[in-house]
Structure formats: C-alpha cells, structure tokens
Amino acid sequence: MANRWIVFLKVLAHAACLAPVAWLVFQFWRVSTTVPDALGPDPISFITFFTGKGTLRLLVISLAITPVRRVFPKLGWLIRFRRMLGLYAFFYACLHLMIYIWLYSNFSWSAMVDDISQRRFITAGVTAWLLLLPLALTSTTWSIRKLGGKRWRALHRLVYLAAIAGVVHYWWGVKSGVRTPLAITVVLGILLALRPVLDLFSRRSGASVTSSASG
Amino acid sequence: MLFRKANDIPSSEITPHSAYLNRRAFLASAGAAGVTALAGNRLRKVLAPDAAKAATKLDTVKSPLSTTGEELTPYQYITNYNNFYELGPNKDDPAKNAKWLHTRPWVVTVEGLVKKPKTFDIDSLLKLHAQEERVYRFRCVEAWSMVIPWVGYSLSELIKQCEPLGSAKYVQFLSLADPKQMPGIGQVMLNWPYSEGLRMDEAMHPLTLLTFGLYGETLPNQDGAPIRVVVPWKYGFKSAKSIVKIRFVDKQPHTAWNDQASNEYGFYSNVNPNVDHPRWSQKYERRIGAPVFKQRRPTLMFNGYGDQVASLYSGMDLRKYY
C-alpha cells in the first residue's frame, strides 16, 4: 500500500481513537457544570464502563492484526497500525485507572491497598494494567533495537495475559447472572485460539508467512 | 436547580417532577412525535416512563417516620435507573420494557401460617390504610444510593389484618414472573419467580413499608408497580417488587439472589459499611443525582436507620449473618 494512503488511514485511526475520549471529556464537563444527566443517571459508572470497554476493544483489535495478516497476506501493511492501537488501549486503561483512583478511591492509598488485596476483580484489573505498562514503555523503535527482536517479542507476549486479565476483571466486576462481557470474551477466545491453529496450518502447507514475522 | 430540601415541601410540588411534567405537556402540544425525533436520546429517555402508563395521583399524609435533611433524588433518575431484572438486566431496560407489564387487574394472595388467608384486589389494598409519604434513603448493594419519597403504609397494617399464627416466623414475598409481560425473565438466569423474605419482627417493624407510589403518584411499572415492599435499612434487592404473593412460613424462605450467589447476597443483607461485598467495598456509595464530585459519601450503618432497627439484631454477629 502506498505511503500516502497509510498516512491518511493513520490520521483516520487517530481520530477514531481520540474522538470517543473527546466526546467523553466534553460530556463529563457538561455533567459537572450545567447538564448533570448528560451521561445518564450514574455518570461515574458510565465513564468507568466506557473507558474499560474501550480498553478491551482496542486490545482485541490490536490482537486481531497478526492473525488477519496471516490469513490475508495482502493486508501485511496492517502491522503499521498495531503499535498505535496498543498504545491507545493503554491510554484508555490509564483513564480507567485514573477514574478508579480519583472518583472511587478519592486518592486514598489505604482504600486502594485494601481493594487490591481483598477484591479479586480489582486485583485482576490492576494486574492487567501492570502487564500493559512495560509494553507501553518498550513500544519505541529504540527499545526494540535495544532489547533485540527476540527478547522484545517475548516480552510483548504479555499482551495475551493482559487481555485475559482484563476480561476476567470484567466478568468479576459485573453481577452474577449478567452476561454483558460474553461478546468480548468470545472474540478474544477466537483470536487466541487462531494463533496455534494458524501455526499448525502454515507448518503443514509450508506457507511462507510465519509467526515470527510479527509475533 | 435540581434539588430541594426534603422537609416542608410536598413532593408533588418539587421541581424535578413538575419540570418533567411540563416538558411532557410541551412535547404533547408541540406534536410529540416530531419533537422526539429531533430531541435525541436523553429527552426520549425522560419521556419513556409515563408513556407506559399514566401515573395516578395518590392522596397522602406526611409521616413522622420520613428521613429529613436529605435532598430528594430527581424523579427521572428514580424511574430510569432501575434494577428490576424481570424487565431486563441493564439499568435502562426496566423503563424501556415497562410498557409490557399490566398492573390492572392485580391480585395479592396472603397465605401460609395465617388465621385469615386472604386474596386482596390492588384497589382494596390501596384503601386498607391511609397512604403516607415516607422519604427514605435507598441503598443498592452495588454501592449507589438515592433518596426517594415513597407512598405507602407500614406492612404491619396488612399483617395485623391477616392474623399470622404463632408458628409464623418469616414472611416470604413472591413477585410476578410472567415471561409474556416480563422480557427479562428469559434473559437473566435467576431462580424465578423472584423471592424475598423478612423475619417476622423485621416485617412488623414500622419502617417496613408496603409501597404503592413515589413522588405522590402510583409507582411507575419500572419501580415495581403496583405494589412492592421497601425495607430502608437493607440493600435494595430485599425490597421485592410487583408482589403477587405474601406467605407466612416457619422457616427462613429461600431468596432469589441468595440462590444465585449465597456468598455475595445473604438473607439479612442489612446495609453495613463494615461488611464488604466479596467483590467490592461497601464503605462508600455514590449518591445518584448529586453533583458529580460530591457523589461519593460514606455508607451509614443500617443505612442510617440504626436508632430504629439495631435492636432487632442485638447479639447477632452481622459478619456471619450478612
């Protein structure tokens, strides 16, 4: 794909990732000033779920890139969007964590320590964020060079654990009997299961696209 | 201005609801369909509850048992943010699905260990005792809360008329479970019909309200019409909605959420900041409708009704009997 198309699509992707945040910040500003119900009856819960679901969706999209490239070799250029999507997932996760620290815990460290040690859904959520943190920090080209491709790829496999921890966090956070996390769980399950399936398939057919090309 | 002090002002004259009614009148005169199409989601949501069934005004007397000094939660929040799983699992589902529920005719059967088993028509229940306005805090187990001007009378008034036997130790409430009127029944895995229960002394406590309305009008369907209980010192799920059966029994009855997850939802479920839900803290709550940065507030023991009800549990380990 021509470079100028990539640039154009990147601008679009940035807009698509930032627009929901811009909308949310604007609505939250309205909530705190003149339109208290701009985000519905429970705005804090709304922004919490909005940023949490946003994180998981972006993670899943970034995890879809590798299998899609392997199935459709012509879409190889998609790799140029993966880092960006991963970083936006981390950005949403940071917003989500900030809401917890600020609006739920009111910056009380004792309350947070209490939560993290005693409540498994918060433990899972914090774990997911901590797993994403080193990936975000080593997302630069400089880091890849410094670590070497092999070690960098090994480190970045943590993203699988982070996504699983995130989905577990979602299930543990909703009331039992509620099945809203089901859709994202199924999609993530398919994406994770696709990797060994594609490995098997490419080994059999001796296809030239290998998993090591993209991790 | 969204809030007024709870004391002194009859709830029917409080701004949020009358603003709401004015808006409806305006919309009706402006040609509701066209305006709604233009107005977008928020307004349509505000419109939804009464589209289902026009509420009837109830004549009420003030009750000395009302909670004072709290700002009332606006009507639109009380009627658009509901946990009523029979009408769907999401908070806005009950208001959307309210139209399917038919609350007339409605019959409530009182049975079990009782001298006078009776079947009441909803209209006779409405007239059984003077309707009182009772402002109560309402605390959901999910750590949000509201302040609601309910309309009803003490459940004890009904119980006295039915003369329970000495062997009756508990009261069980069974809610309607009709999949034709309640689309949530097929969507949520709960042990239907919704069952709740109280110990006899809890049921006889004057604060336990047999509830028919809020904000001076009959209950909107999404809030448990036409008849529910409200037990203000317990988590909201103890306050069964759309009741069709009241049963006096000698053993602790099974309850829907306890059947679902007994480690999370105990039979007593008194509001207690010192006993956390296994998955989240109960020390704080969000007051719905309050300014967003002032929503977080400490949860009160027995939801602030300890002076009246703590004696019911003297000698009990509330960690064990959560």
ipTM of this predicted structure: 0.80
Eight-class DSSP state of B220: P
Which of helix, strand or coil describes residue B42? helix
Question: What is the reported pLDDT for A70?
Answer: 92
A32–B291 CB contact, under 8 Å: yes
Q: What is the distance, to the nearest Å, from the Cα of residue A155 to the centroid of all Cα atoms in its chain?
A: 16
C-alpha to C-alpha distance for B161 and B297, rounded to whole angstroms: 40
Of B190, B280, B292, the CB nearest to A44: B292
* Selection from B170, B186, B167, B188 nearest residue B178 by Cα: B186
B89–A176 CB contact, under 8 Å: no
Question: What is the reported pLDDT for B296?
Answer: 95
Question: What is the reported pLDDT for B8?
Answer: 45
B142–A175 CB contact, under 8 Å: yes
Question: What is the reported pLDDT for A178?
Answer: 78
List of chain A residues whose C-beta atoms are within 8 Å of the C-beta of residue B92:
40
Question: What is the reported pLDDT for B79?
Answer: 97
Question: What is the reported pLDDT for A54?
Answer: 98
B280–A119 CB contact, under 8 Å: yes
B286–A40 CB contact, under 8 Å: no
Of B80, B85, B188, the CB nearest to A41: B80
Phi, psi of B81 (to 5 degrees): -135, 85
Q: pLDDT tens across A163-193, in order?
A: 999 999 999 988 777 788 999 999 999 999 9
Question: What is the reported pLDDT for B285?
Answer: 96
Question: What is the reported pLDDT for B17?
Answer: 55
Question: What is the reported pLDDT for B122?
Answer: 97
Question: What is the reported pLDDT for A205?
Answer: 73
C-alpha to C-alpha distance for B182 and B196, rounded to whole angstroms: 18
Closest chain A CA to residue B256: A177
Flag residues of chain A having pLDDT under 70: 1, 206-215
Eight-class DSSP state of B285: E
What distance in Å separates residue A139's CA from the closest CA in chain B?
34
Q: What is the DSSP string of A89-121?
A: HHHHHHHHHHHIIIIITTT-HHHHHHHHHH-HH
Eight-class DSSP state of A193: H
Q: What is the DSSP string of A28-77?
A: HHHHHTT-TTTT-S-HHHHHHHHHHHHHHHHHHHHHHHHHHHHH-GGGGG
List of chain B residues whose C-beta atoms are within 8 Å of the C-beta of residue A31:
292
Specify whether the CB–CB gap between B80 and B95 falls below 8 A.
yes
List of chain B residues whose C-beta atoms are within 8 Å of the C-beta of residue A175:
142
Which of helix, strand or coil describes residue B121? strand
What distance in Å separates residue A3's CA from the closest CA in chain B?
40
In total, the C-beta contacts within 8 angstroms joining chain A to chain B are: 73
C-alpha to C-alpha distance for B155 and B159, rounded to whole angstroms: 6
A44–B295 CB contact, under 8 Å: yes
Tokens at A59, concatenated: 């993670």
pLDDT along chain B (322 residues), means of 10: 44 49 44 41 44 76 96 96 94 96 96 96 97 98 97 98 96 97 91 97 98 97 97 98 98 96 94 90 94 95 98 94 92
Radius of gyration of chain B (CA): 19
Question: What is the reported pLDDT for A161?
Answer: 97
Tokens at B31, concatenated: 């040609």
A173–B279 CB contact, under 8 Å: yes
Closest chain A CA to residue B73: A41
Of A36, A115, A122, the CB nearest to B2: A36
Residue that has been written with the tokens 């909201």 in this structure = B236
Question: What is the reported pLDDT for A174?
Answer: 86
B80–A40 CB contact, under 8 Å: yes
A118–B144 CB contact, under 8 Å: no
Burial profile B221-243: b = 16 or more Cβ within 10 angstroms, e = fewer? bbbbbbbbbbbbbbbbbbbbbbb
* Selection from A35, A32, A27, A83 nearest residue A51 by Cα: A27
Provide the residue count of chain B: 322
pTM for the model: 0.83
Specify whether the CB–CB gap between B295 and B287 falls below 8 A.
yes
Question: What is the reported pLDDT for B15?
Answer: 47
C-alpha to C-alpha distance for B197 and B26, rounded to whole angstroms: 43
Q: pLDDT tens across A4-18, in order?
A: 999 999 999 999 999
Closest chain A CA to residue B291: A32
Question: What is the reported pLDDT for A207?
Answer: 52
Closest chain B CA to residue A46: B91
What distance in Å separates residue B139's CA from the closest CA in chain A?
14
The one-letter amino acid at B84: F
Please work out, in degrees rounded to the nearest 5, the angle formed at the alpha carbon of residue A144 by the alpha carbons of A140 and A145: 115
B188–A177 CB contact, under 8 Å: yes
Closest chain B CA to residue A170: B279
Question: What is the reported pLDDT for B16?
Answer: 52
Q: pLDDT tens across B34-58, in order?
A: 434 444 444 434 444 444 456 899 9
C-alpha distances (whole Å) from A135 to each of A124, A132, B308, B309 are 17, 5, 55, 53
C-alpha to C-alpha distance for A58 and A147, rounded to whole angstroms: 25
Which of helix, strand or coil describes residue B160? helix
List of chain A residues whose C-beta atoms are within 8 Å of the C-beta of residue B293:
32
List of chain B residues whose C-beta atoms are within 8 Å of the C-beta of residue A43:
292
Eight-class DSSP state of B78: H
Eight-class DSSP state of B270: B
Question: What is the reported pLDDT for A171?
Answer: 95
Which of helix, strand or coil describes residue B86? helix
Tokens at B249, concatenated: 């029994």
Of B188, B288, B291, the CB nearest to A41: B288
What distance in Å separates residue A36's CA from the closest CA in chain B?
7
B292–A43 CB contact, under 8 Å: yes
